[in-house]
Amino acid sequence: MTAPRPFHPLARQFTAFFSVGVAAAIAHYGLLIALVESGGVHPVPATLAGYVAGGLVSYVLNRKHTYESDRPHREATWRFAAVAFVGFLVTWFLMHAFTVWLDGPYLPSQIITTGVVMLWSFMAHKIWTFA
């Protein structure tokens, strides 16, 4: 019997990123749904508010659990904010396109948008924010 192969570092890191993403998505989607369903807010500004809430969760957990970064907060926070700002713009554009231009339902639109932004964020944070 052979010993189990060690978990590839990139796979471990992406798994941690995905787990943190679930926590951030709960904050994001929770606020999005609450604002749209209870507050009557249009999905585009509601998802941007949710994106900010999820981003705060994401920074704290990714810094510690995913990238195990020792980059000082004064460097990591502005880098994280820059990557998050690009994700914010992508979120705005895709959600606007799906829900306004195409008149699509907001939750499936958000799921697609989340996938796109997740891939962007993982690579940008790995290569630049927490490197």
Q: Is residue 8 part of a domain?
A: no
Count how many domains the chain has. Answer: 1
The set of residues, in sequence order, having a beta carbon less than 8 Å from that of 61 and lying 6+ positions away, is 20, 23, 24
Token couple for 23: 């926590």
Domain that holds residue 54: 14-129
**Cα(121)–Cα(109) distance, integer angstroms:** 18
111 falls within a domain: yes
10 Å Cβ neighbour count for 81?
Answer: 13
- Asked, for residue 3, whether it belongs to a domain, the answer is no
pLDDT of residue 5: 63
What digits encode the pLDDT tens for the residues 104-122? Answer: 999 999 999 999 999 999 8
Cβ pair 28, 53 in contact under 8 A? yes
Mean pLDDT of the chain: 91
CB atoms within 10 A of CB 36: 18
Residue 84 lies in a domain: yes
pLDDT in tens, 15-42: 998 899 999 999 999 999 999 999 999 9
Q: Is residue 39 part of a domain?
A: yes
Which SS3 state, helix, strand or coil, does residue 93 take?
Answer: helix
* pLDDT of the residue at 68: 78
Token representation of residue 122: 């993982």
